[in-house]
Amino acid sequence: MATECDRARASADFARFRVQLVSGAPDLMTLADSAYGALEPIRSAAFGEGEPIKDLDELRKHETSFEAAVKEFLQAARAQLRVPDSS
């Protein structure tokens, strides 16, 4: 689980950096930071830092929160970064 969390965090770092380069919009960066932050409880537990995740239900709660934050970020990024249709 630790390796998977490490990869997810690296991917999140990369995505945040790309959005900052391409958009730089403060509202979009706030959503990116929120998605990144939602990964922290899972990452911390995987590496034995901070609060341990007590059971599978708690893990699912954190996963659901992370997925919702990522989905909100992606929807906003898609709307903001979409290239206008030229037809």
Alpha helices (H) in 1-87, listed in sequence order: 2-22, 26-46, 56-81
Running along the chain, 87 residues long, what does each successive block of 10 average in pLDDT? 71 79 84 85 72 76 88 86 64
Please tell me the predicted confidence (pLDDT) of residue 2: 62
Please tell me the predicted confidence (pLDDT) of residue 18: 81
Residue 38's closest CA among 73, 63, 71?
Answer: 63
State the Cα–Cα distance between residues 53 and 56, nearest whole angstrom.
8
Under the phi-then-psi rule, with left for phi > 0, alpha for psi from -120 to 50, and beta for the rest, what region is 50?
left
pTM above 0.85, yes or no: no
Please tell me the predicted confidence (pLDDT) of residue 1: 59
State the Cα–Cα distance between residues 82 and 68, nearest whole angstrom.
21
Residue 65 phi/psi, 5-degree rounding, is -65, -45
Please tell me the predicted confidence (pLDDT) of residue 68: 92
Please tell me the predicted confidence (pLDDT) of residue 63: 86
